[in-house]
A and B are shown apart, each in its own frame.
Chain A
């Protein structure tokens, strides 16, 4: 292992860790308010956490396959999927704004969004 190898390895690790840090700080917000289900990049369903009082199951049947999403008061998860790898099910609950569960074989994205207003506050 040469010095350049070490430099490349440390450089890659640093880039990854720094961007991970940046994503965690700036991209993921506090608890979200909506759950959005997208198939093939198109909006499939949208739920507001305020309207959900007890855990609710949603069944999603598309031409790619079958998925079952469970939505709790402030979080969501994939309960069932007919995809081969089951990674979306293993991911568990998501609750922060901009967090998402992706089921690649079924082209399905479940994500949590924050407030609908794009701007938090404006100062003059």
Chain B
């Protein structure tokens, strides 16, 4: 039974991320700016980085990006969300590691959103062979900061409740 709790929790986090990814595609956005979305699915990545650290977060965000692309959004969107997910996980982990007592999940999430946008634009400029698309980055960054704030806020509230569970099982000697 060793590590079962951890496996179940990781599976749950991936499932949460996937469901949010699919629900997100049903929510209409009033402004039509290409590439902008709420990024609800990043709640799962954010919580995983905060609880389990980078390696597990890589697994969660990679699986979520690939499956999410197959279920909603289309196969063409997979390279963008995959690169965005990996790069934003790295940045969120670094932010947690080096800025941790000073920033809450809000700051971590905003930095992660910025990294996600940057990676997406890089991917798009490589696929289209066009550097001019970087002029679109500021627009994405503004939207990303706003949505990143709300994702971080959600993360802050969720982690309080979630870490009670996690601490309880860790104290019981579970390999969490």
Q: Is B165 an interface residue (CB 8 A)?
A: no
Q: Tell me which residues from 95 to 113 in chain B have a Cβ below 8 Å from any Cβ of chain A.
A: 99, 102-104, 106-107, 110-111
Interface size class of chain A, counting residues whose CB lies under 8 Å from the partner chain: 20 to 34
Chain A residue with the shortest CB-CB distance to B127: A107
A9 near B106: Cβ-Cβ < 8 Å: yes
The answer for the CA separation of A3 and B68 in the assembled complex, in Å, is 35
Chain A residues whose CB sits within 8 angstroms of the CB of B139 once the complex forms:
16, 20
Instruction: State whether A12 and B34 are in contact (beta carbons under 8 Å apart), knowing that A23-B138, A104-B76 are contacts in the complex.
Output: no
Q: Which stretch of A46-54, A69-77, A82-90, A115-123 is in the interface?
A: A82-90
Contacting residues of chain B (1-57) with chain A, CB-CB under 8 angstroms: 32, 34-35
Docked pose: A104 CA to B76 CA in angstroms:
8
B117 CB → nearest A CB, Å: 10
Number of inter-chain CB pairs below 8 Å: 94
- Interface residues in A1-36 (C-beta closer than 8 Å to B): 1-5, 8-9, 12-13, 15-17, 19-20, 23, 27
CB contacts (< 8 Å) of B111 on chain A: these are 8, 12
Chain B contact surface mostly? helix
Contact A12-B110, Cβ < 8 Å, known A2-B103, A90-B32: yes
The B-contacting residues of A in range 45-104, CB under 8 angstroms, are 84-85, 87-88, 90-91, 98, 100, 102, 104
- In the complex, what distance in Å separates the CA atom of A41 from the CA atom of B131? 10
Contacts A19-B137, A87-B32, A104-B34 given; does A2 touch B142 at CB 8 Å? no
- Which one of B76, B135, B142 contacts A13 once the chains associate, using CB atoms below 8 Å? B142
Q: What B residues does A98 contact at CB under 8 A?
A: 132, 135
B99 touches A4 (CB 8 A): yes
The A interface is mostly helix, strand or loop, or mixed, namely helix
Residues of A within 8 A of B133 (CB): 100, 102
Residues of the A chain whose Cβ atoms lie less than 8 Å from the Cβ of B135? 23, 27, 98
Report how far A77 CA is from B139 CA in the complex, Å: 20
Closest 4 CB pairs of A and B: A41-B129, A16-B141, A20-B138, A87-B34
Chain A residues near B (Cβ < 8 Å):
1-5, 8-9, 12-13, 15-17, 19-20, 23, 27, 38, 40-42, 84-85, 87-88, 90-91, 98, 100, 102, 104-105, 107, 109, 111
8 more CB-based (< 8 A) A-B contacts, given A4-B103, A40-B128: A2-B102, A3-B102, A8-B111, A9-B107, A9-B149, A38-B130, A41-B129, A98-B135
